[in-house]
Structure 1
Amino acid sequence: MMRILISAVLFALAPAAHAATCSIGPAGTTQRVAIGDTGRAMTVHLPTGFDPSRPAPLVMLLHGSGGTGATMLRDSKLAEAADRHGFVVAAPDAWIAHDQGFVWNIPGVPTVAGRIPGPGDPDDVAYLTAAIDWFVAQGCADRSRVYATGLSGGGRMTSWLGCVAAPRFAAIAPVVGLRAGNPRKDDPTRPDPKTCRPKAAMPVIAFAGDADRTNPIQGGGAGYWQYTMHAAEARWAQLNGCTAAPVTRWVTTGVYEELYSGCRSEADVSGRITVGGGHSWVADNDAMWAFFARHRR
């Protein structure tokens, strides 16, 4: 017993391990970074003023079907928002080749090529969570402030991360791609509750355009889409235990919000719709970050 007590005291008095200093750099740059032993790399932007001794919030930015992380970072202008607000952006590539880019592996959901990924396809959830662990281990990212956003197919993948890896993300922001699980096989106008069972409440802010013909907010479209954006919002509100009646309001000229509040762990669900907006990056990056910044894991 004495030996155990002495060991415990010595352990308590031992100095804490030195925190890693982020070696990606310098601040304000965008570069291609190899992620540990995954065999994959991604485009990473460190914000202006980034302090390598202080882990920063991390936003995972997922490209649309047929795209790449580098083009998504360029087109979303999220690096400029990162410089304003001080977060790291990581823009990975999916690993199923399509056209000049890649598509994400969402189990049971056909890609834009119409093929359902099989067991031999790369596990993108495993890769993205391994990447988070790597950024944290390198001292570059704060594990409690990791977020995900993405466009179209990347929005669907972002939604999938909310379903299957909720404890790893403090909030998600799908852009023209909000889902809440796969469409039901017997009634594709409704999400299948068996395919989205998050282990923690998930704050959601989603962006879309009411003139999107690829992923229409009114539902329909391709086999991976089908149910309405409103149905997806309502399902996330149900999953988050939201108790207040949904409220619709104008947040700025030409953009209205459907908001579900009174939710477990303050995990509100917001859908922001741009009138006349199409299938493009319609997100307000500053509003997205303001939502993200309110949440930690």
Structure 2
Amino acid sequence: MRRKAATTFIGIAAALSVAATAAAEAVPAPAHTFSGSQLAQGQANWDEFVRMATGYAAGAAGTTQGTVQGPGGSSLPDLQQLSSALSGIGPAAQAGGGSNLIGQINGREYLLWVPASYSPARPTPLVVAYSALNNPAEAFREYSKLRESGMGREALIVYPRAIGMSWEGMPTAKTGPGEDIGFVRAITAQLQREYNVDRSRIYATGMSQGGGMAAISACHMSDIFAGVAAVSGAFYAPVNMNCANTPVAFMDIHGMADTVTPYYGGERWGAPILSVQTMFVSYERRNACAGGVDRHPAGPNATRITARGCRKPVEVIQVHGGGHVWFNVPSAADEVWGFLARQRK
């Protein structure tokens, strides 16, 4: 692998528990938006998601012993030591082969997965994968199983580390407008210098608030991204404001019983959440669709809805009875890559 002086890559060699860092969100606010039973179900949905995330973290933790060091051998800050829990020598690396690295640019870090199939002689897709609120990038890397899917065998995957474990455009953001966008632009530019990236096949995905950041990628970085796919996307109003008019392929996998980021919209942290239908219609217009939709089963518990006659595809998978999770049935990892892998600039 070629290296630049401006880039620091270090292999990850530790596995510490991240259960303490994957804290649950509060239930949706204000309370009058939902009934008592909906609030209880919303908390249960989020608790299920946190158990899933931290369960993968705990499963991989303890597989190795060691310390995590930053560039030049310096110790990482405490939060990064905690969130650098998963060394990546767990099931994905063992099953599919590849390398887990840490990259740094402009004072911020990201995780990088390089598949065993990577060759400098062949252009390779790149996927930017955004973590959920209060979830370290390492936890998302584990429970999403993207490395274990076709994506992990065929594409470079970068997991940016969010400041405060939240993204811009969200009411919990610790960054201002444009900061995370600038970070992602810098990452993709750096990786294009370091690797043979197929510039027609750069994609974004993410869970919850990470799905919202994927929508921001389509909205404000359409010059880079050929397609985005959210899972249980948190579509706060700013993620779909003042977007470029360039068509971008869009997908969301969403539980119909999700009361954390409700399918039909709502309010959380005092900020409005757009409905999935609103996002779908906005991309129908943006992608110059002809009108009308097709519906097909997407497994025993889900329906795939696709817009007709679009310059770039627009698709939603409704998971019936599904809550606020990264889905195993249908497989979010497989569905996301199945959709993104077909897209080109």
Equivalent in the alignment of 2:157? 89
1:182 is paired with a residue whose SS is helix
- Give the whole-Å Cα distance in 2 for the aligned partners of 1:93 and 1:259: 32
Q: CA deviation at 1:244?
A: 3.1
Equivalent in the alignment of 1:42? 110
Q: Which of 253, 270, 275 is matched with 1:207 structurally? A: 253
- Give the whole-Å Cα distance in 1 for the aligned partners of 2:190 and 2:245: 22
- The higher radius of gyration belongs to 1
Identity across aligned pairs (percent)? Answer: 26
Asked if the contact 1:41–1:92 (Cα under 8 Å) also holds between the matched residues in 2, the reply is: yes
Which 4+ stretches in 1 moved above 4 angstroms?
21-27, 82-85, 115-119
Equivalent in the alignment of 2:220? 164
1:221 is paired with a residue whose SS is strand
Q: CA deviation at 1:118?
A: 4.2
CA deviation map 1:10-39 (0-9, x unaligned): xxxxxxxxxxx656799933423223x422
Asked if the contact 2:126–2:198 (Cα under 8 Å) also holds between the matched residues in 1, the reply is: yes
Distance change >3 Å, CA 180–CA 296, structure 1 → 2: farther
Asked if the contact 2:246–2:286 (Cα under 8 Å) also holds between the matched residues in 1, the reply is: no
Equivalent in the alignment of 1:236? 283
Amino acid at match of 1:196: N
- Give the whole-Å Cα distance in 2 for the aligned partners of 1:279 and 1:157: 17
Q: CA deviation at 1:83?
A: 6.2
Instruction: Give the RMSD, CA atoms, in angstroms.
Output: 2.5
Asked if the contact 1:181–1:196 (Cα under 8 Å) also holds between the matched residues in 2, the reply is: no
CA deviation map 1:93-128 (0-9, x unaligned): 112x2xxxx11112xx412xxx68546xx7000000
- Give the whole-Å Cα distance in 1 for the aligned partners of 2:212 and 2:274: 13
Corresponding position: 1:28 with 2:81: no
Tell which has more relative contact order, 1 or 2 (C-alpha 8 A, sep 6+): 2
The TM-score normalised by the length of structure 1 is: 0.77
2:266 is paired with a residue whose SS is coil
Asked if the contact 1:94–1:103 (Cα under 8 Å) also holds between the matched residues in 2, the reply is: yes
Distance change >3 Å, CA 82–CA 132, structure 1 → 2: farther
Distance change >3 Å, CA 260–CA 85, structure 1 → 2: farther
2:97 is paired with a residue whose SS is coil
- Give the whole-Å Cα distance in 2 for the aligned partners of 1:30 and 1:161: 26
Amino acid at match of 1:29: G
Equivalent in the alignment of 2:294? 247
Equivalent in the alignment of 1:260? 307
Q: Which of 271, 280, 283 is matched with 2:316 structurally? A: 271
1:46 is paired with a residue whose SS is strand
Distance change >3 Å, CA 224–CA 151, structure 1 → 2: farther
Equivalent in the alignment of 2:194? 138
Asked if the contact 1:30–1:43 (Cα under 8 Å) also holds between the matched residues in 2, the reply is: no
CA deviation map 1:183-232 (0-9, x unaligned): 9xxxxxxx7xxx13224101011111112110010211314443321121
- Give the whole-Å Cα distance in 2 for the aligned partners of 1:94 and 1:88: 19
Amino acid at match of 1:271: V
Distance change >3 Å, CA 180–CA 196, structure 1 → 2: farther
The alignment covers a number of residue pairs equal to 252
Asked if the contact 2:128–2:203 (Cα under 8 Å) also holds between the matched residues in 1, the reply is: yes
Asked if the contact 1:167–1:199 (Cα under 8 Å) also holds between the matched residues in 2, the reply is: no
Distance change >3 Å, CA 55–CA 81, structure 1 → 2: same
- Which structure 1 segments of 5+ residues have no match? 1-20, 184-190
Corresponding position: 1:295 with 2:343: yes
Distance change >3 Å, CA 155–CA 84, structure 1 → 2: closer
Amino acid at match of 2:192: V
Q: CA deviation at 1:180?
A: 8.3
1:158 is paired with a residue whose SS is helix
Amino acid at match of 1:276: G
Amino acid at match of 1:110: P
Equivalent in the alignment of 2:53? none
1:271 is paired with a residue whose SS is strand
Equivalent in the alignment of 2:23? none
The TM-score normalised by the length of structure 2 is: 0.67
- Give the whole-Å Cα distance in 2 for the aligned partners of 1:56 and 1:152: 27
